[in-house]
């Protein structure tokens, strides 16, 4: 199976684009069933969305601070990377769920969770295979003591000083803000639906 795993990394972008296109179609031509039946549920979903997106954006910025300019050349084991091996994916996972909840439905977040659960473990395993070629025993030691995905706060290790590449970090700042921008875009789409400028083909729970 290992010989096929590099293909997973190559396919990550087209797979993600295809999945995103499906979600865009669903969001553009659907509305939330809670909007007319249970407004309290609708509001609760949006508040939860804002909470998760806020955590995700801050978390991704925190991760970017540590990997800016170091992602391949150095095995990063401090900050969020001391609590779990894939904190960037963890915070992206929270942000994806948050954006799903911002549609004020439960269906779309469940679709996002399912996609992430099925696909990204393969991506993570493939990345570890590539990193092992570079870091060898150091990576094995890191894998043995650090959780793969869900952070363990008691393991947090932060240096007193840390050198960062500002040009790379600046780019990562914009990447981290995408979740916040997506929530705004989803609100604009909801307003367009309310003005009847776009057809609605189905309702989602």
- Give the model confidence (pLDDT) of 30-50 as tens digits: 888 887 788 899 899 999 999
User: What's the pLDDT at 3?
Assistant: 47
Q: Whole-angstrom Cα distance, residue 201 to residue 30?
A: 6
In the structure encoding, which two tokens stand for residue 49, read together?
């969305």
Q: How many residues does the chain have?
A: 205
Are 126 and 9 a contacting pair, CB within 8 Å? Answer: yes
Checking if the pLDDT of 103 tops 90, the result is: yes
Q: Could you count the other beta carbons within 10 Å of the beta carbon of residue 103?
A: 24
Checking if the pLDDT of 66 tops 70, the result is: yes
User: What's the pLDDT at 50?
Assistant: 95
Are 95 and 109 a contacting pair, CB within 8 Å? Answer: no
Domain spans of the chain? 2-204
User: What's the pLDDT at 9?
Assistant: 63
Q: Whole-angstrom Cα distance, residue 42 to residue 58?
A: 25
Checking if the pLDDT of 133 tops 70, the result is: yes
The CA-based angle 16-61-49, given to 5 degrees, is 65
What average pLDDT does the segment 83-87 reach? 96
The CA-based angle 129-18-48, given to 5 degrees, is 90
User: What's the pLDDT at 8?
Assistant: 66
User: What's the pLDDT at 11?
Assistant: 73
User: What's the pLDDT at 2?
Assistant: 45
User: What's the pLDDT at 73?
Assistant: 72
Greater confidence, 14 or 145? 145
């Amino acid at each position: 199976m290992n010989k096929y795993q590099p293909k997973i990394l190559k396919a990550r972008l087209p797979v993600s684009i295809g999945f995103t296109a499906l979600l865009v179609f669903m969001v553009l031509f659907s509305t939330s069933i809670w909007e007319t039946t249970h407004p309290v549920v609708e509001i609760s979903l949006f508040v939860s969305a804002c909470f998760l997106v806020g955590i995700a954006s801050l978390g991704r910025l925190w991760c970017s601070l540590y990997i800016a300019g170091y992602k391949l050349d150095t095995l990063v084991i401090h900050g969020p990377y001391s609590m779990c091996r894939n904190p960037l994916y963890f915070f992206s996972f929270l942000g994806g769920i948050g954006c799903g909840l911002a549609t004020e439905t439960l269906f779309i977040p469940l679709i996002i969770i399912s996609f992430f659960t099925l696909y990204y473990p393969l991506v993570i395993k493939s990345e570890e295979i590539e990193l092992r070629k570079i870091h060898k025993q150091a990576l094995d030691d890191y894998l043995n003591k650090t959780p793969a995905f869900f952070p363990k706060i008691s393991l947090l290790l932060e240096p007193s000083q840390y050198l960062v590449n500002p040009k790379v970090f600046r780019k990562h700042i914009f990447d981290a803000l995408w979740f916040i921008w997506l929530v705004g875009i989803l609100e604009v789409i909801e307003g367009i639906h309310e003005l009847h400028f776009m057809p609605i083909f189905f309702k989602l729970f």
